[in-house]
A and B are shown apart, each in its own frame.
Chain A
Amino acid sequence: MQFFLEVLLGGLLTGIMYSMVALGFVLIYKASGVFNFAQGAMVFFAALTAVGLHDLGLSLWLAIPLTMLVMIVLAMAIEKIVLRPLVNQPEITLFMVTIGLTFFIEGLAQAIWGASVRKLEMGIDDVPLEYLLDTLGIAISQFDLVAAGIAFVLVAGLAMFFSKTKVGRALRAVADDHQAALSIGIPLQQIWVIVWGVAGFVALVAGLLWGARNGVQFALTFVALKALPVLILGGFTSVPGAIVGGLIIGASEKIAEVYLGPYVGGGIEGWFPYVLALLFLLARPEGLFGEKIIRRI
């Protein structure tokens, strides 16, 4: 039982980390109806920039805000160069554009900072929390708990932002209907900069957490692929969905690995989430919390 709990909790905490990446996708999808393939590249770019600046001798407290600034500039550039000329184009066009953007951002990051793996020291050790180890006998990483805490704060903040603020409402309005949003005077350009900026911020947080854990390297972009099943489970349009989806994916892949793995020779972790996502697509295509497609008849 203790072992099961340990696996479960470990999985849930990894899941939170997936959620952080998935969150970036949800934000942009919610506000512009575009599936932003480049989110993974943005995670990589943000983490690499932060670490790169840190390695140049800046303290982390300076490097992180500076990186945020870079992400905002990136958001503005993307809006101006990529999105503005493509207003009212079909979603598939925008999706293709984000694929192009992915390669560009990955290339840019490595052109500036080089392709070597960099270590990020956040000052939180990835060691089991002693208190839990002593009282319950479960080994839970201290780092994972902190990451979960950060994720919680982030999500609560975003949920408030979307439902209670004027800009948040406008973001959702734009997601529903570009033209109508324009017609009542919501400036699309401004909204897109905001949403890409926020997505950049989420990418930065996710990048720092993943980077601190696995090292900042190109493989960070692959973490973004794990966000896909998370999104399918949780729903592309739901912030809480991204969290719950992440938890389910994280927990189920670990449990599957430990308990089913031995029967099939292991290595389940890599593909199990995708199978789960496939089953979900068959049963509930809008995901657990996704907005139902409203169709009047």
Chain B
Amino acid sequence: MNPQTATTHPALLSVNNVEVIYDHVILVLKGVSLGVPEGKIVALLGANGAGKSTTLKSVSTLLRGERGDVTKGSVEFRGERIDHLSPNDLVKRGMVQVMEGRHCFGHLTVEENLLTGAYTRKLSRAELRQTLEKVYDYFPRLKQRRTSQSGYTSGGEQQMTAIGRALMAKPTMILLDEPSMGLAPQIVEEIFEIVRDLNKREQVSFLLAEQNTTVALRYADFGYILENGRVVMEGDAKELASNEDVKEFYLGISSGGRKSFRDVKHYRRRKRWLA
């Protein structure tokens, strides 16, 4: 649909025809291919169970712990195959995943959470302090709450902690899974603003999985739409946002006024994407 995504920019990350099977029987990804160019924000969109998280985990190799296997295809980061590496290797190479549902270390303080993020780096005390201050610059709110156990902080603060923790590893690429989950719209905006800021100022590339299509397309450069474990559409974020089908299926608006979702969805989907 829009080949420029992969060709005009050298891809930092490229996922080639990846198939994932859970528990040896459940086929979740049926050949997903996508690319993240250096310095861009790429959104991975789709409904529940479309395979967004699985795609991210197949990249970060966290899949293995969940009895999932990449059975076909390959993942390359900076032109190097990474599917056989451990998450530890990947973090050292500059790619960190922020997991869905934030996964902060509840009994550690906010600051301790951030400090664990630098585990893979060999830093002097002063350098560590400096990195920490930098993260606090992006998330002033975390500085206020630095001594609270993160289990007692709010959802937004936990999301910030999780992103900040990933930043401590000084990544060039962050896999961000569902940052808006369970957060108030205002906090969601705040977090996406920070994502954009990090992208601009620190040149961090993002691959973000998101259900909130509206917000994600507003901040992303490119988008991929996943459905049933396949990429059904890809393109420039602005084009996607103005695409009639996307508008209808994911943004809930259509040119012919409001239509009943039930009437139109099933038929058009089949025709457009599966036939």
Q: Which residues of A contact B168 (CB under 8 A)?
A: 184
Q: Which residues of B contact A291 (CB under 8 A)?
A: 107
Q: Which residues of B contact A183 (CB under 8 A)?
A: 60, 62, 87, 96-99, 103
Tell me whether B96 and A185 are in contact (CB under 8 A).
yes
* Residue A112, interface by CB 8 Å: no
Tell me whether A169 and B112 are in contact (CB under 8 A).
yes
Q: Which residues of B contact A185 (CB under 8 A)?
A: 87-88, 90-92, 96, 119-120, 169
Q: Which residues of B contact A175 (CB under 8 A)?
A: 107
Instruction: Among B90, B96, B103, B162, find the residue whose CB has the most chain A CB atoms closer than 10 A.
Output: B103
Measured CA separation A184–B87 after assembly (Å): 8
Interface size of B in residues (CB-CB distance below 8 Å): 37
Report which of B65, B91, B113, B149 forms a contact with A178, defined as CB distance below 8 A: B65
* Residue B86, interface by CB 8 Å: yes
Interface string of A15-59 (1 = CB under 8 A from B): 000000000000000000000000000000000000000000000
Q: Which residues of A contact B103 (CB under 8 A)?
A: 177, 179-180, 183
Q: B72-108: which residues lie under 8 A (CB-CB) from chain A?
A: 86-88, 90-92, 96-99, 103-108
Q: How far is the CB of A70 from chain B (nearest CB, A)?
A: 28
Measured CA separation A117–B103 after assembly (Å): 50
* Residue B21, interface by CB 8 Å: no
* Residue A173, interface by CB 8 Å: yes
* Residue A182, interface by CB 8 Å: yes
* Residue B39, interface by CB 8 Å: no
Tell me whether A172 and B107 are in contact in the complex, defined as CB-CB below 8 angstroms, given that A88-B66, A186-B88 are known contacts.
yes
Tell me whether A170 and B65 are in contact (CB under 8 A).
no
Tell me whether A88 and B65 are in contact in the complex, defined as CB-CB below 8 angstroms, given that A184-B166, A185-B169, A294-B106 are known contacts.
yes
Measured CA separation A183–B99 after assembly (Å): 8
Q: Which residues of B contact A178 (CB under 8 A)?
A: 65
Measured CA separation A237–B96 after assembly (Å): 29
Report which of A169, A177, A180, A187 forms a contact with B115, defined as CB distance below 8 A: A169
Tell me whether A173 and B105 are in contact in the complex, defined as CB-CB below 8 angstroms, given that A183-B96, A187-B86 are known contacts.
yes
* Residue A133, interface by CB 8 Å: no
Interface contacts beyond A182-B65, A184-B120, A294-B107: sample of 15 additional A-B pairs, CB < 8 Å, sorted by A:
A172-B105, A172-B107, A172-B112, A178-B65, A179-B62, A182-B87, A184-B96, A184-B119, A184-B165, A184-B168, A185-B90, A185-B119, A186-B88, A187-B88, A294-B151
